Amino acid sequence: MLRDYQKINRRQSRVVNVGSVPIGGSNPIAVQTMTNTLTSNAKDTLLQIERSAKLGADIVRVSVPDLSSSLSLKEIVKHSPVPIVADIHFHYKRAIEAADNGASCIRINPGNIGTVNRIKEVIKAAKNNNCSIRVGVNGGSLEKQILEKFSEPNPEALVESAKLNIKILEDNYFNNFKISVKSSDIFMSIVAYKKLAKICDYPLHLGITEAGGKRTGSIKSSIGIGNLLLEGIGDTIRVSLSDEPEEEVRVGFEILKSLGLRNRGVKIISCPSCARQQFPVIQTVKNLENRLDDISTPITVSIIGCVVNGPGEATMTNIGITGGGNDTHMIYVDGKKDKVVKNVNLEDYLENIIREKSKDLNINT
């Protein structure tokens, strides 16, 4: 149960549906990722989507840069376990094809699509297919007139672009959309999102774009996305990493779990290890994180190498272990001492009891 000081008051946005996933309002903050396979290769793309979905991805975006990708989209949508967002840049026909081929959402910048008539055709296709739109403003691809006005990307330029694109959609009586104002600069992104949140009630998709590799990108995204979520801003997130989509999903859920906004899978509380450790904490944690990746039931686990902090941490978790010396360890269940184990394969033992506990929790939920 969250204490009063842990509760986040979310900005109340209107609700937009991306296929079967409602975005905004009081709905859970959705975790998205994007495939890096060639969309024209439907088989490999679907395999990547399925792996991401197993880790909890609510929505997956695929790039549709050409006709062959557009043709594959229909097959991908047909077999995907989650709603698909089609990523479109510049070519309005790809956007129309994506909507016609079953995409639940199309990501575009209306201002970059072309003439008003072309934008109207895209909106018509979205309406006809019950397809939502994400207005994807990006610091690296602002409209020419915006850059001429502001000289360089900045928070004001991002918001100005968002306002321009919102007006285009609203002028054509289309309100089924969400917005993002991404930049690779954390500060620019945070300020832009805060400004945008004050002037509209559309759902906001959060992200720090081109954030970098696994370590750098995870840190930048956690700071940027986490800062906004703490302010109650954000209805869906994507952690943009130079890594596999599955890793983006893992990090996305860790951000949400850390803030008490989503609770999925195993949450491990572990010590950084020191000379007091009575078993190899670091390797044990690494291996268990990989072994337990498939568990979706929320469960908390404390893995502490000695008795200094172990008993205290264990009182707040479903499963706990503290090292006691001589290959002897105390096991805690639901915050209470359960048994002492000695001379066991620790990783195997912990995996088994965590899986059993997760089954019990799932049945009782």
Q: Which of 292, 278, 275, 291 lies closest to 322 in space, CA to CA?
A: 278
Separation of alpha carbons 258 and 205, rounded Å:
19
Q: What share of the chain is helix, strand, coil (3-state, %, to 5)?
A: 45, 20, 35
Give me the pLDDT at residue 2, please: 60
Per CATH, 11-258 and 266-364 having the same topology is answered no
Separation of alpha carbons 60 and 190, rounded Å:
24
- Is residue 103 within 8 Å of 121, Cβ to Cβ? no
Q: Which CATH class is domain 11-258?
A: alpha beta
Encode pLDDT of 247-267 as tens digits: 999 999 999 999 999 999 999
Separation of alpha carbons 12 and 26, rounded Å:
7
Residue 1: count of CB within 10 angstroms of its CB:
4
- Is residue 296 within 8 Å of 249, Cβ to Cβ? no
Q: Distance of CA 52 to CAs 12, 31, 290, 296, Å?
A: 28, 10, 15, 13
Give me the pLDDT at residue 365, please: 60
Q: Which of 199, 195, 217 lies closest to 207 in space, CA to CA?
A: 217
Handedness of CA 240, 245, 249, 254 (dihedral sign): negative
Give me the pLDDT at residue 325, please: 82
Encode pLDDT of 261-302 as tens digits: 999 999 999 999 888 899 999 999 999 999 999 999 999 999
Separation of alpha carbons 162 and 323, rounded Å:
54
Torsion angles phi and psi, residue 302, rounded to 5: -110, 130
Give me the pLDDT at residue 5, please: 67
What is the mean pLDDT, run by run of 10 residues, along the chain of 365 residues?
Answer: 74 96 97 97 98 97 95 96 94 94 91 82 96 92 88 94 93 95 96 97 96 94 97 97 96 95 93 89 94 94 90 92 89 94 92 95 77
Domain extent listing, the chain: 11-258, 266-364
- Could you say which architecture CATH assigns to the domain 266-364? 2-Layer Sandwich (3.30)
